[in-house]
Structure 1
Amino acid sequence: MKEIQDLVLLRISWWVKGWAGPFPYSSEEILRNPNCLCWSGQSLISHKEAVAEKIYWSPPPRGILKWNVDASYDPNLPHAVVGGVLRSDSGAFVALFSSPIPKMEINSAEIYAIVRAIKITSTSDRIKHQQIIIESDSLNAVRWCNEDHGGPWNLKFPLNFIRNAKNSELSISITHKKRDANMVADSLAKQGLRRDAEFLAWC
């Protein structure tokens, strides 16, 4: 029941963020305290913070799908989590995932988030023939994925998997975007810290 409640609150937070008016709370804050949804419209943040908040998700070019992926960990938990959301050029949700992984350094975890997005793409007849952008907020992870070789020695296998996937029949590009434009994936990753199994949903 707790996971269902969190999923409902997460969806509400996405819808609220899509409204024209400003809303001062993040998805994570709503999950911690659902009373945030009772906001009366009074501004609770400074003008400077409000300007910083206005970094929105940007749609991919027409006919292209875009994964936003992220990773999260809690030092008090024995695992980390990767999460991602796939959207169309109109902003419509296509798929969501949240997966536990072994605890690791955050840039390494971002690599595994990209790997999971590629695996979901490659095994789905619905999307594997479409052009896909994978967007991460880790500049290091994106750089390693786009290099022909190199990267940390302990990431040799996942990086080779990513490079081989990019050179296969899949049409994939991997790009960097700041976390502020990646809030849905960030929320999925944080929400997944409370799970011990993968969550995958097609919309």
Structure 2
Amino acid sequence: MSMDLLLVSLEKAGIGGVRRDHRGIMSGMFSVPVGTKESNEAKLIAVVKALESKHRQDFAGKEFVIESDSANVVQWMNETSIRPWRYKDPFSLAERFSSQISFAHILREGNHCANVLAKQGVLKQWT
């Protein structure tokens, strides 16, 4: 699953994500406003949404990789000892669903669909 955040201003932020199978075929997506959030926290919320989506679907025994263009979030998800305490709530939510999942960093250019969905998340909040 690929995720992204769009921060238009301090009051307008949205997140989006795309779920693809091993062939790259899209099988799900999300787009939601997140209100006033610092970018790292909003990216963590996107991780939580992706994990919740995985949990709702039947992916038992299947490889699940979450991709993000946030190097910070990927590193924090992979190395629990370096997580900032101020984000303990999103990390706590993420840990409920994060067993047997890999986290990978990708460039923003490789995340076009998720970026478009993040923009839609902003529009949902402010239109």
The normalised TM-score by structure 1 is 0.57
Q: 1:164: Cα distance to partner?
A: 4.3
Identity %: 34
Q: Classify the secondary structure of the residue corresponding to 2:80.
A: coil
Structure 1 runs of 4+ aligned residues shifted over 3 Å read none
Contact residue 144 and residue 159 of structure 1 kept, 8 A: no
**Structure number having the greater strand percentage:** 2
Q: Name the structure 2 match of 1:70.
A: 4
Deviation at 1:128, TM superposition (A): 4.7
**Residue aligning to 1:181:** 110
**Letter matched to residue 81 of structure 2:** H
**Where do 1:4-43 residues align within 5 Å?**
none
What's 1:96 paired with?
Answer: 29
Gap runs ≥5 in structure 2: none
Distance 2:40 2:90 in 1: 12
- SS state of the match for residue 81, structure 2? coil
Structure 1: gaps of 5 or more residues: 1-66, 197-203
Kindly report the root-mean-square deviation, in angstroms, between the aligned alpha carbons of the 2 structures: 1.9
Distance 2:63 2:44 in 1: 20
- CA distance in 2 between partners of 1:174 and 1:160 (Å): 16
C-alpha distance in 2, partners of 1:141/1:174? Answer: 9
TM-score using structure 2 length: 0.88
| Amino acid in the other structure paired with 2:6 | S
Aligned residues: 126
Mapped contact 1:68–1:185 kept (Cα < 8 A): yes
Q: What is the distance in 2 between the residues matched to 1:161 and 1:195? A: 24
Deviation at 1:102, TM superposition (A): 2.7
Post-superposition offset of 1:165 = 2.6
